[in-house]
Structure 1
Amino acid sequence: MINVNGKIVSTSEILIENNRGFLYGDAVFETIKVLDNKVLFLEDHYFRLMSSMRILRMEIPMDFTMEFFQEEVLKLVRALNTPVSAVRVRFNVFRDANGKYLPSDRKIGFMASAEVLNVSAYTLNSSDYEIELYKDFYITAHLLSTLKTNNRLVNVTGSVFAEENGYQNCLLLNDAKNIVEALNGNIFIVKDKVVKTPPVSDGCIKGVMRKQIIELLQKHTEYTFEEGVISPFELQKADEMFITNVIVGVQPITKYRKKEYVNTLASDLINKLNAKIRLM
């Protein structure tokens, strides 16, 4: 089932030849986890979506409130009619207008799709998870790179590269050759009890789970957190590395080239994250 502009349908019937999201990537999206009919991190998703739409100069309807956003997500989840408690929702907002590069209108449309998740709570994946750098293309460190838009060709080609070479993920670089993020989430590295992640100004996605993990780290009594530029040379010196996104929570990295890593902090953060969402 799909939610198209508030209507639950089995097929969208949106003509891709006229859709600006397809033609020009004139669209943004949120990947959301719904657990027990609760939209996790609702405010963070909503305000990031609003910010992205404003940056792209989309016209936001007056009734597109946080309550409206939540209800449209839950309406779709209820339509699945599944006993499974965890659902992944992709909420797409596109500029619903004609025109070429210049849109004829600033109004928006939306389409949301959903799929059932096999695991409800966040769990530690301790299986082998090897990464490599992806250097065919780079991320430019500017504001558009921090948005979740439909322009994700670096992530697509990087994912193909990872599969072709037997890696579970790759890290992306910006045009200054610094580490920005993973293909599907933000990156954190740990060295001597100091946890570091790239600043948004380096071009990384302003991740919702990134925000949750930073909040947990800032309260942690055993670790110090900092945002800072990460050089590729720091990766093999790190004690631990992990990737974050709202679907998996925290994904430990086990190997980069000849270096292997522990998952001590990742395991601790998953426990703290689950405790946090139980209180939501």
Structure 2
Amino acid sequence: MIAPAWQNGRIVELADARIAATAPGVLRARAVFDGCRLFVRGWGHRKRAFTISMSHHIARLQASCDALGIHLAYTSSELVDAARVVIQLMQPHYDMGLRWFVSERENQSGSVGADVTVFARSLHGYTKPRPYRLNFAKRARWVGHGIPYSVKTMSHYAASRTETLSAQQNGFDDCLFVNQFGDVAETPRANLIFVASNELHSPRPEDGILSGITCKSLRHVIGKHSTFRWCERRVSVSDLASYTGALMLSSSLGVVPIERIGPFEYLTVASRAVADLWHTAMLNPAQLFLTDIDEFDY
């Protein structure tokens, strides 16, 4: 099996893990997902993979389902076991993106359920070797209306894709969303933090962001291994000119420096210092995340 996936309790090829075109998950974007990075390390011929905060990612998946009223028939432990089966079948030799995808469907009887698919994809090339360049999204991110951005739903990501493509057509790597109040939110795939002298500033959930699990993990690393003070606060567009550094962070992306946001340019020395703290912590994460590590031997 080249690319195994777990779908509704069965093992199938990822290419065969299909969702009906008439399903509510497709027609009305009633689909949610979550995922974390699968770190792969090797000793001789033996490989070991691990995740950080898998239980938090699954809890967020369940919360997203609850927010949309999607019935998720599997428990947390069953979703972990599904991931374990996929990992054992794949036996990856490099880091992967581990994903849980839930799409609502209607049966012929009219009852509503959900297709659940668990799979892993290569992260090769996902993170660029150089600092990122962001442009401002053309559309404001409206908060306080519609589905909250704390819900990781496909409707949010599908709408963001157009903005990403527009930014790339103009020579940028991605875009940054600003809410209707002129406050910085996030990018389509990552949270943001900003370096201000001895402080790190991160936008607030109420500003229109997903509450990032990697952001929380980095905050833990910063508290243990640096003198930076972490401040969750409102960040306006006018504040961007005052920062000495900026970074993007997500489970798949990691923690990476930004060199430009629209007209604002940043020295990457300060940003790299923060990114290096994260990369160093990932060399031996068990020392920092004692209760949040799930290991998989094969």
Please give the alpha-carbon distance, in whole angstroms, between the structure 2 residues aligned to 1:115 and 1:59.
Answer: 25
C-alpha offsets along residues 142-192 of structure 1, whole Å, 9 cap, x if unaligned?
662121101123320121012101112221111222100012100000111
Aligned amino acid, residue 173 of structure 1: V
The gaps in structure 1 that reach 5 residues or longer are none
For residue 78 of structure 1, what is the amino acid of its counterpart?
Q
- Residue type of the alignment partner of 1:144: P
SS at match of 2:21: helix
CA contact (8 A) 1:141 1:174 kept: no
Which residue of 2 is the match for residue 235 of structure 1?
A: 240
User: 2:273 maps to what in 1?
Assistant: 264
Residue 71, structure 1, aligned to residue 71, structure 2: no
**Given the alignment of the two structures, is residue 24 of structure 1 paired with residue 28 of structure 2, yes or no?**
yes
**Aligned counterparts of 1:182 and 1:238: Cα–Cα separation in 2:** 18
Q: Measured at CA, do residues 126 and 141 of structure 1 come closer, stay the same or move farther in structure 2, by a change above 3 Å?
A: farther
Give deviations 1:29-82, integer Å, cap 9, x for gaps.
012222233333211111111211222222233xx2322111111212333354
In structure 2, what is the Cα distance between the partners aligned to 1:211 and 1:268?
14
Number of paired residues? 270
Q: Which runs of 5+ in 2 are unaligned?
A: 40-47, 294-298
Percent of aligned pairs with the same residue? 19
**Are 2:105 and 1:96 equivalent residues in the alignment?**
yes
Q: What corresponds to 1:192 in structure 2?
A: 197
Contact (CA 8 Å) 1:197, 1:228: kept in 2 or not?
yes
Is 1:133 the counterpart of 2:131? The answer is: no
The normalised TM-score by structure 2 is 0.81
Contact 2:244 2:267 in 1 (8 A): yes
Q: Tell me which of 69, 73, 79 is aligned to 1:57.
A: 69
Bigger drift between 199-208 and 255-264 goes to 255-264
- Whether the aligned pair in 2 keeps the contact of 1:134 and 1:158 (CA below 8 Å) is yes
Paired residue secondary structure (1:173): coil
Secondary structure of 2:148's aligned partner: helix
SS at match of 1:254: strand
CA contact (8 A) 2:7 2:17 kept: no
1:270–1:159 CA distance, 2 compared to 1 (3 A): same
Residues 81 and 128 (structure 1 numbering): CA distance in 2 closer, same or farther, change over 3 Å? closer
**TM-score (norm: length of structure 1):** 0.86
Q: Which of 38, 44, 68 in structure 1 is aligned with 2:50?
A: 38
Paired with 1:54 and 1:5, the residues of 2 have a C-alpha distance of 19
> Which amino acid is 1:140 matched to?
V
Q: Give the aligned partner of residue 226 of structure 1.
A: 231
Contact kept, 8 Å, 2:5 with 2:17, in 1: the verdict is no
Go from structure 1 to structure 2 and tell me whether the alpha carbon gap of 1:165 and 1:78 turns closer, same or farther (over 3 Å shift).
same
Looking at structure 2, the residues matched to 181 and 141 of structure 1 have their Cα atoms a distance apart, in angstroms, of 16
